[in-house]
Each structure stands twice: as structure tokens, then as C-alpha cells.
Structure 1
Amino acid sequence: MSSEAKGTQAIPVSPINAQQERLNALLEEHGATWDSLEDPHDPFNWSFMRKISVALIVSLGQLVTLMSTSMMAAALTKIGADLHLGSTATQILFSIFILGLAFAPFLIAALSEMYGRRSIWIASNMFYILWNALCPVNSSVGLMTVGRFLAGSGASAGIVLTGPILADMYRPEHRGRSLALATFIPYIGPALGPIVGGVISQHLQWGWLFWTLSMFDAAIVLVGFCFFPECYTPALLRKKAALQRSDISGAPPSNRKFMLDKAFYQDLGARLRANLIRPLWLLVYRPAIQVIALIMALNFAIYCLLLSTYATLWIERYGESETISSLNYIAIAVGTIGASQAGGILMDWIYASLKERNNGETTPEFRVPFLIPAVILIPVGLFLYGWSAEKRLPWIVVDIGTAIFVCGSFMLAQGMLAYLLDEFKHAASANAAARMLSNILGFVFPIFAPSMYASLGYGWANSLLGFIFVAVGMPIPVMLWYYGPRLRAIGRT
């Protein structure tokens, strides 16, 4: 159970009593509960293979999102030339996808907490497939711009729902392991996207960058339609309560008869407004969310800036072809895989050690020590990447710097997501609130990247980013460790 529901002071309880307390709370809130602590319908009690299959499906969906973010990178020069755009306008086409990730999560999170994860995940991916496929049609700048934005809106389900879906199935003590499981495949996306994009753009028309991803996601949605069961406990219990009421009254569940009633839509509007307001309320009134949003935004913005300019570095400064230049994105894959797999094990070990030392009592601040190596690796990687590129050192030195930065960046994102899932009962809303600023800055930073590198060079430009992160980002883990409980207590209801 989240600490948000427990109050400011955590009370040491045995695992069995904690689970019984959870069942009682579910009964009180939803009018139904699981039949026992071992009820097989409870997603926490699903089999290992069933959890693995769900995690695999949603991770493939998130892979599409991350590939779509970066796949244009290797073909940006060609796309800009074909559409008769300057470098700044071309960067906007690249990063407007990320702007779509900023606002749609509010609606997706609200609907997923009203109707469950499965249907919203499927609908959002189908929305992405449509608009992503339309992006290159007729080589229209307007359609490309609108299509990239709306495709990002649909693809944001992969970002905003993956963590909450895992939280639906895995308890906090397995948070690191579950995140490692679900992020192993999608974290390859930032590297796989440009590599596939480089090959396609060199041998086919660049429109196939978009059509290939739409076809891939269509196959994932088809598999999800068949094998992705609903996993959101409130939605499952609401359905169970409705079936119990129908058994008692002898009448079938009454959801359908309301569809044509005015009262149904009035109730729908009221519920949707309440659920849409929740992420905004969290962002405005919960200082804990604000602190998390700040460090996540700076981290993600720097990452997007690097991602959007990485292919250009190798093509223009090192004279590599589109295909060869895209292979340097393997360094990003090395960083992301290291962060997800080693990071997941480290996170669970730290959490278990602190829990044992604290007599079984837990708090979201147990995630904070995991952030320490992350905030150190980020500036170290930036400095090494920037100055090795500035001095035209061998490619391996630049790639090592990039891998170090990316490893720290993704470890930071993992730790902050785990902190959110531990603290907030409405995980999707909290995730959407924390990521809004990230995606806005992720849209803005790549736009000024070419002029920044042209003016300052790679060395001083990356050093400037590193110094900003040291000043803004490094104090935040210390703040959360010492003042986290006070911050989380402010604005609780």
C-alpha cells in the first residue's frame, strides 16, 4: 500500500496484516474485494509466466515509442532537404513528437484509472498507428507536423502506463526487478531507432521510417488484444461488484442500458473532469511531485538534446555515412541496458537492505541511495563525451562518454519512477504529472541544440549542460533523503 494512503507516519506491520489491511481497504472503496490473500484473480498473485507476458507486450509498446522518438535522427538532413526546411524547422519536426508526449498522458492516465489499463493502451496505440502512418504522405510539412504531434500523443501510453501496469502486478519489494524486466527491450529503442532509421534512409525512401514502425506496432496491438488481460485492481473489482449485484438482484449488469441515457454522459463528464484534474492537482499542490518533475525534466531534456544531434556529430564532424554513423547509437544501448539490468538488481538490494535495517518499515526514501551513482554518472559522461568530440578523439572515447551519461540518465529515471510508484496511489496520474515538464523541455532543448554546438563547440556546450545539472540536479537526492517525508506530507488528502 502506498505511503500516501497510510499517512505521514508509517506503522510497522507484518506482511500478512498489511495484505489483510489492503483487502479491507479494497472492500471499503470498491464494494468488493478478493476472496483471499491468495485469490488467483488478484494481479499480485498471477503466475510468473502471465506477468512476464504482460510485461513483454507493454515493453514492446514502449519500444515503439522510444524508437519513434529517435528514428528520424539519422535522416533529419534528408527530410529537411526534401521538405525545404532549415535546420531549426527540421529539429522542430523531430522534437514535436516529444511535445505530444507531454499533454496526452493526462487524458490517458485519467481514462486508465476510470476504465482500466487494457482498453486505453490498445486505443492509444491504434491512434499512434494511424497518425504515424500519415506523417510522410505527400511530403506535406503541415501533415508531418500534425502527424508527429498526434502520433506522440498516442505513443505516450507506452511511457505513462508501463510503470503503473507493473505496479498493478508487482509489490514494492520487487519494483527494481519488475522495472528491469519491462525496460530491457524498450531501452534498446533509442539506439535501435537510429540504426534502423540509418539503414532505411540510405536504401529506401524516408517515408518507410514511419510505415515500418506503424506495421510493427500493429502487430504488437494484435498480440495485446489476444493476450493482455486487464490488470488494474479497481477496474477488476468494479466488474466483480457489478456481477455480485446482478447475482443478488437476478438482473444482468446494467452498464449497457445507461449508454443512451443523458445521465450516463453527465456522469461520464463529471468523472472525467475529476480524473483529468488529479494530475494537475498533484503537480500544483504536491511539492514532492514538483521536485521529482524538476530533476526528471532536466535529465530528459539533456538526453533528448544529445539524441537529436548524435547522428549529425558523426556524419558532419567524423565524416561517416548514415549507416555507419547510426552504429554509434550502440553506445546508448549499452548505457540503457546497463542501467535497466544492473540498476534493477541494485535498486532491490538497496531497498531490501534498508527495510531489514529499519525493522520491516518502509518509505519511498529507500529509493534515494540508488540515485547517488546516477547523478554522478550524468555530468561525468557529459564532460567526457563533449571534450572527446571537441578534440576529435577516437570514436570509442566519445561512445564511452555517451554510454556513461545514458546509464546515469536512465538510472535516475528508474529511481524517480520507483519513488513515485511507492508514494502515490494513483500511479498513472502521478507519472503523467511528473513527466509533463520533462516532455516540454524535451521538445525545446533539441531546437536550440545546433546553434548551441555551433557557438560553443561540443566541449563547452556539454560542459555547460553538465554544470547546470550539477547545480540543479545533484542537491535533489540529498533534499529527498532529509526532507522527503515532509515534502510528501504537504498536500496529502
Structure 2
Amino acid sequence: MASEMEDIQSYNSSSSSIADLEDHQQPQQYMPSESNELNSNPLKLSRTETVKSLQDMGMTSEAPIPGVNAPQTSRVQIFPEEYTMETPTGLVPVATLQSLGRSSLAVTRTRTRQMDRQSQTNASISGSNSESDEYQKETEKSGSSGEENDLDPDIEFVTFVTNDPDNPHNWPLWLRWVYTVILSILVICVAYGSACITGGLGLVSEKFHVGSEVAILSVSLMVLGFSFGPLLWSPVSDLFGRRVAYFVSMGLYVIFNIPCAVSKNVQTLMICRFFCGVWSSSGLCLVGGSIADMFPSETRGRAIAFFAYAPYCGPVFGPLVNGFISVSTGRMDLIFWVNMAFAGVMWLVVALIPETFAPVILKRRAAKLRKETGNPKIMTEQEAQGISVKELMKSCCVRPLYFAVTEPVLVLVCFYVCLIYALLYAFFFAFPVIFGELYGYRDNLVGLMFIPILIGASMALATTFYCENKYLAITKRRKPTPEDRLLGAMIGAPFAAIALWMLGATAERHVIWVGPASSGLAFGFGMVLIYYSLNNYIIDCYAQFASSALATKVFLRSAGGAAFPLFTNQMYHNLGLHWASWLLAFISTAMVAIPFAFYYYGKTLRGKLSKKDYSLDALEE
């Protein structure tokens, strides 16, 4: 029996001896189930956490709200700390959590029996649809038969161990920043692809004998694909991890650039451009989550600033690079081959980044421990609850749309983000009118006029560090509120409006080109600060459902970015160069009030306009 009583925690690199741990927890002996008796493979002993050890680590009877790196679910979670906490043993029994005061009706004994059967047949435990459906049916059956619907106390939840090298928060700081830069370049790559054809719209019209409006549609359709892609890649990420989502989606994106390059008719080009947007959208909707996986909330702001910088700078490289390709070669296909090469390189580079999503990392560890011990009751809370496709669809698809029609605060903030994003794409079609028709520049020189936007955006990126320092100073003095995140938007909002006033005022033939081009400097500075600030504000305001709120933002932002290019040309031709820019300036000026209004009256407005307060403050009151 001595060999059967050995510690199975071979994966724990902690150097603490058994004697050192005995003061904190007593070993628990698992009784072999009927199936294990038949297989003559009795379960072994595993050291687990106790109430005292958990209390020593700061756990209380009240479960905190799940973090942004927790799986999306609407069910009650009794152990949301599982994905961030490190424990000496790496196992936390449900019985211990119940003794601590945690309880829920979300996890049933039915699920445990299902895991037991899978263990007997050596089936792969991956949260498949059929598994989830079986769980739902058995849960309904057990409920109708009057079976007790409570937590199985024999379940043990897996956590990271102390100083766990698999925990992304423990990776070396320099390595996490390398991954952050790579992921930000991935965002630039995807955003670049959406605007790559703007440097050669004339080539599209010439090759397929279509008007400029149809050529512009090749940009709008890819941006529209950004709206629908997250509905696919968010569930994939939750089920299989971010790395799988990136690898599959970017691989499809690379492939779909081929028919864009060799298309024989405009219909093929348009359809493939839309699917390019759907496939590549993982680079927009998941990168923020990947960065959040690697950095704790206290130091996440600076890393997120790079993510805020990337989607607004990426499109600027489109006309800048491909204007020269268009003028020098006259080949539309070469624009897509270059885009494919860029996407292909990023596809391979991102594939080298290890998995960052804690639920998936721990799920794989739990599967390994089940195999080593023969104990089907070692699992993550996500596995214990079961993964319902219906629930995933509700979290990833239904709730973002629900927020879009029921949350005026979120809609108003998202509308501002949408406006700034749409104005960026409007610049892509306003500049060719101003510099192409007024100054007579060709696509290559028009592309150079976008450089000030990049300079302004880079200045904004440096300013975000100032904003983060101010926020950290607030956290040391008092408890921060979501409104404290609005400093960047208050700084940047006037600059976006000033840029459009400048653009309209300087769009004259006798004014040197530096005048209208310099408007991009102010716009680039303002747009990155606004996006960075409002992105953090949305997360803090909707902390309980941050992923769904951000999905709402992506949907509305991409829809606006897709719509604006379709009428920008007509607007500048019909209203004139001055009034077209000034019309947008009037709207931008009115929107300047939004961050200031929410900064001073945000909590009151959220209380009156929102159906429910989803912020951290609401949970702690």
C-alpha cells in the first residue's frame, strides 16, 4: 500500500517537503470507484488545499467577479480565482470550498459520472458539443427525477502551483513584452489588409470595368467581416484556446488572399474580401484577451496601449505602401500577394507563441492528472459545469447584441469609438480627393500624406504612459472608479475635432500641402487616446461581462468603418472640400462632450440609463 500512497504531484516544482505542508493540509485518500476496482487500478493519494491554507492566501466566503481571462459563462462560479491563483498543491477540493462558504447549484453529480465514463473509455475530454448535449440531457433527467442538484464534494479543481512556469503571469517580463509586440504587429497586419487596396482602387476599376463605388466596396466588405468574425472566433477561443484560434483563422486568411489576387471577376474579389475579414478578425477580437492573459490588472494598461495603437495605425500603411506598388507596377494582384506574404509571416510567428488562456492551460493539466491518477474527479470548474454550445452562443453572440439595444451608456461610448474608427477610413477616401484632384498627386504621393497620422498616433502612445501613471497614483490614494479611465479621452477628444476643422480650412489649392496633411497629426494623436481610454472605460463599466461589452464595441465599430467609405467620395464631391470636412468636424465637436460628461456625471448616468450596474462598484456595495 505504500506505493499506492505516494504523492502524485510530480508536476509541482515546489521544493517544500511533506512535513512542511502538514501544518496546512492533511492528505486525502481517494476511495477507488467501482470501475477502478474492476481495472485493478486504485486511485492514489493527492495532497490538496484546506480551509486554513486558502484563508491564509486571502480567500473568503464571497467569490469575486470572474476576471477577463476567465471563460465566458452565465452560470454561478464558486471558484473564479482558479485561473489566477497559485496554490502549493495545485488542487482545491469542492468540499473545502463548501466549508469555506462557497456554494452553487451549477455543478451536478451527473457531470462527475459523465467524466468517470469518459475516463474508463480513455476518451478525449475536450468539451465537445456532443459531450455538452449529453450533460444537458442528463442534468434535465436528474432534475426531473428529484436527484439532489448540488456540488459533488469529491471534485477537485486544478489551479496553478506556486511559481508555476506554465502561468503566463510568471513568464519573464521581457518575454511577455516580446509577445505583446508580436501580437500588436498581428493587429497591424490585419488592419493593414483591410486598407491595402486603397492604394490601388483605380486598378480595381480598370481591371473589372466598374465604378469607384464598387471598388471601394472591396474595403467595406472586409471591414464588415470584422463585425461577424468575433461571433465565430470567441467561442473557438473559449473552447480550444487562443493559439488554436489564431492558427486556424490566420491560415484561412492567408489562403483567401490567393483568390483575391487571381480573381477573374469582381464578384469573386468581393466575396473573398468579406471572408478575409471574417477569418482575420481573430487578430482584432482576441489580442486584447491574450495581453490580459499575460499581465495582471495593475500593469496591464501599458500593454493594452500598444493594442489600442495598432488597429488605428495598421490601415494607414495600406495606402502608404500600396500607393507605390500601384504607380510602379500597375498590378492589382501584387497588392494582394504582398498582403498575403505579410499575413503568412505573422501566421508562422504567432504560432510560436504558447497558449496564454488559463482555462485551456488548466484543462490540459487536469486531463493529464486524470490520466495519471485514474481519478475522473480532477477537473477545472469549466469542465465541471459543462460547456454548453447554447450558453457559448448566448455569451458570445446574443449578449453583445442585447447590450447594443439595452445599454444606452455602452451604445453612446461605442458610437464615439465607431465615429473615430469610421473617420479614419473616411480619411482614406478624402485624401485622394483633396490631394489627388486638388493637388494632382498620384497614389504614391497621396500615400505619403498619411505619415502625419502615424506620427500623431505614436505621440499618443507615449502619452498613454502619462495617463497610466496618473491612474496608478489614483489607485494609491483611493479606490478608482471607471470614470478615472477617461483622462486619455478628455485629452484626445478635442484634437480629433481640431483635425477636421484644419482639414476643411486648408483644403485650398493656394495653401501648401503641409496644411491639410498636418491635420493627420492632430487626428492620429486624438484617435489613439480616445480609443485607449474608452476601451478601458468599457471594461471597468461592464466588468461582469467585459468580453460581451467589448464584442458590442467591435461590432458597432466595424459596422461604422464599413459604412463611411461608401459615401465619403460623394460627400466631398457634392458638399465641397470645405463643408464635407466641416460637417464631420461639427459632429466630432459635439462628441467631445461625451468623455467630459461621463467623467463628471458617469455614475449618475449609468444609474439612470443602464438597466443594471455591471461595474465592480455595484458588486462591492
TM over 0.5: yes
**Counterparts in 2 of 1:377 and 1:156: CA distance versus 1, 3 Å:** same
Q: Which residue of 1 aligns with 2:476?
A: 356
Contact 1:285 1:491 in 2 (8 A): no
- 2:551 is aligned with 1:432: yes
Q: Rg bigger for which structure? A: 2
TM-score between the two structures when normalised by the length of structure 2: 0.69
Residue in structure 2 matched with residue 418 of structure 1 by the alignment: 536
Q: 1:85 aligns with which of 210, 215, 219?
A: 210
2:272 matches 1:162 = no
Share of identical aligned residues, percent?
26
- Is the Cα–Cα contact under 8 Å of residues 383 and 463 in structure 1 kept in the other structure? yes
How big is the shift at 1:383? 0.5
CA change 1:21–1:159 in 2 (3 A) is: closer
Q: Is the 8 A contact 2:188 2:314 kept in 1?
A: yes
Residues 1:415 and 1:222: Cα distance change in structure 2 (over 3 Å): same
Amino acid at match of 1:444: A
Per-residue CA distance 1:155-175 (angstroms, 9 max, x = gap): 211211121111111223323
Greater mean alpha carbon deviation, residues 191-200 or residues 416-425: 416-425
Unaligned runs of 5+ in 1: 7-17, 255-265
1:228, CA displacement in angstroms? Answer: 0.8
Secondary structure of the residue aligned to 1:372 is helix
Q: Deviations over 1:79-136 (max 9, x none)?
A: 2122111122222222211111111112212321232211111211112112222113
Aligned length: 467
- Equivalent-residue separation in structure 2 for 1:267 and 1:188 (angstroms): 37
Measure, in 2, the Cα distance between the counterparts of 1:108 and 1:61: 15
The question of whether the paired residues in 1 share the 8 Å contact of 2:495 and 2:523 is answered with yes
Query: Is residue 2:267 matched to residue 1:142?
Result: yes
Letter in 1 for 2:584: L
Amino acid at match of 1:296: V
Tell me which residue corresponds to 1:238.
363
**Alignment of 1:482 onto 2:618:** no
Which secondary structure state, in structure 1, belongs to the residue aligned with residue 160 of structure 2? Answer: coil
Give CA deviations for 1:205-251 in whole Å, capped at 9, x if unaligned: 111111111122112211222x2111112222222233333333268
Counterpart residue identity of residue 297, structure 1: C
Structure 2 counterparts to residues 58-457 of structure 1, below 5 A:
58-182=183-307, 188-204=313-329, 205-225=331-351, 227-249=352-374, 269-275=389-395, 276-340=397-461, 342-358=462-478, 361-390=479-508, 392-422=510-540, 423-424=542-543, 427-457=546-576
CA contact (8 A) 1:246 1:252 kept: no
Contact 1:132 1:151 in 2 (8 A): yes
What secondary structure does 2:356 align onto? coil
Q: Deviations over 1:356-395 (max 9, x none)?
A: 231xx23332211221011111100110012112465211
Instruction: Quote the Cα distance in structure 2 between the aligned partners of 1:166 and 1:488.
Output: 29
Structure 1 stretch 441-450 or stretch 84-93: which is displaced more? 84-93
Deviates more, 1:409-418 or 1:376-385: 409-418
CA drift of 1:33 comes to 1.9
Distance 1:31 1:280, change over 3 A: farther
In the alignment, the residues of structure 1 paired with residue 241 and residue 487 of structure 2 have an alpha-carbon distance, to the nearest angstrom, of 33
Give the distance between the partners of 1:445 and 1:95, measured in 2 at CA.
Answer: 8
SS where residue 393 of structure 1 aligns?
Answer: coil
Q: Tell me, which stretches of 5 or more residues in structure 2 are unaligned?
A: 1-62, 68-79, 98-105, 107-155, 380-385
Distance 1:308 1:157 in 2: 26
| Letter matched to residue 425 of structure 2 | C
* Structure 1 contact 280–433 (Cα < 8 Å) conserved: yes
CA contact (8 A) 1:386 1:460 kept: yes
Distance (Å, rounded) in 2 between the aligned partners of 1:88 and 1:323: 21
Between the aligned partners of 1:302 and 1:180, the Cα distance in structure 2 is: 20
Provide closer, same or farther for how the CA distance between residues 114 and 280 of structure 1 changes in structure 2, counting only shifts above 3 A: farther
Name 1:464's counterpart in structure 2: 583
- Work out whether residues 198 and 326 of structure 1, in 8 Å CA contact, stay in contact via their aligned partners in 2: yes
C-alpha spacing 1:84/1:459, structure 2 compared with 1 (3 Å):
same
Distance 1:20 1:137, change over 3 A: closer
CA drift at 1:201: 1.1
Whether the 8 Å CA contact 1:420–1:427 is kept in 2: the answer is yes
TM-score, normalised to structure 1's length? 0.86
- The range that moved more, 126-135 or 177-186, is 177-186
1:399-445 deviations in whole A, cap 9, x for unaligned? Answer: 21111012101211111222234443555433221121111111111
Contact 2:406 2:611 in 1 (8 A): no
- SS at structure 2 position matched to 1:231: coil
What SS class does the counterpart of residue 468 from structure 1 fall into? Answer: helix
CA contact (8 A) 1:161 1:428 kept: no
TM-superposed deviation, 1:32: 2.1
3-state secondary structure, aligned to 2:286: helix
State the alpha-carbon separation in 1 of the partners of residues 378 and 251 from structure 2: 29
Distance 2:563 2:415 in 1: 15
> Residues 443 and 20 from structure 1, CA distance in 2 versus in 1: closer, same or farther, beyond 3 angstroms?
closer
2:393 maps to amino acid = R
Tell me, yes or no, if the aligned pair for 2:226 and 2:278 is still in contact at 8 Å. yes
| Shift of residue 334, structure 1, vs aligned partner | 0.8
Summarize deviations over 1:269-312 as a string: whole Å, max 9, x none.
33542343343344344444323212111221122111233234
Once structures 1 and 2 are overlaid, which stretch shifts more, 107-116 or 419-428? 419-428
Give the 3 Å change call, closer, same or farther, for CA 20–127 of structure 1 in structure 2. closer
Q: Which has the higher contact order (CA 8 A, sep 6+)?
A: 1
Alpha carbons of 1:427 and 1:491: their partners in 2 closer, same or farther (altered >3 Å)?
closer
Relative distance call for 1:439 and 1:473 in structure 2 (3 A) is farther
Distance in 1 separating the partners of 2:326 and 2:300: 39
Q: Which amino acid aligns with 1:273?
A: M
Instruction: Please state whether the residue corresponding to 1:136 is helix, strand or coil.
Output: helix
CA distance in 1, matches of 2:489, 2:520: 19
1:31 shift after superposition: 2.4
Amino acid in the other structure paired with 2:464: G
Q: 1:210 to 1:20 in 2, by over 3 A?
A: closer
Change (3 A) 1:23 1:442: same
- The separation in 2 between residues aligned to 1:396 and 1:450, in whole angstroms, is 22
The answer on whether the counterparts of 2:189 and 2:346 sit within 8 Å (CA) in structure 1 is no
Q: Counterpart of 2:175?
A: 50
Query: Is the contact made by 2:258 and 2:337 (CA closer than 8 Å) also made in structure 1?
Result: yes
Distance 1:20 1:154, change over 3 A: closer
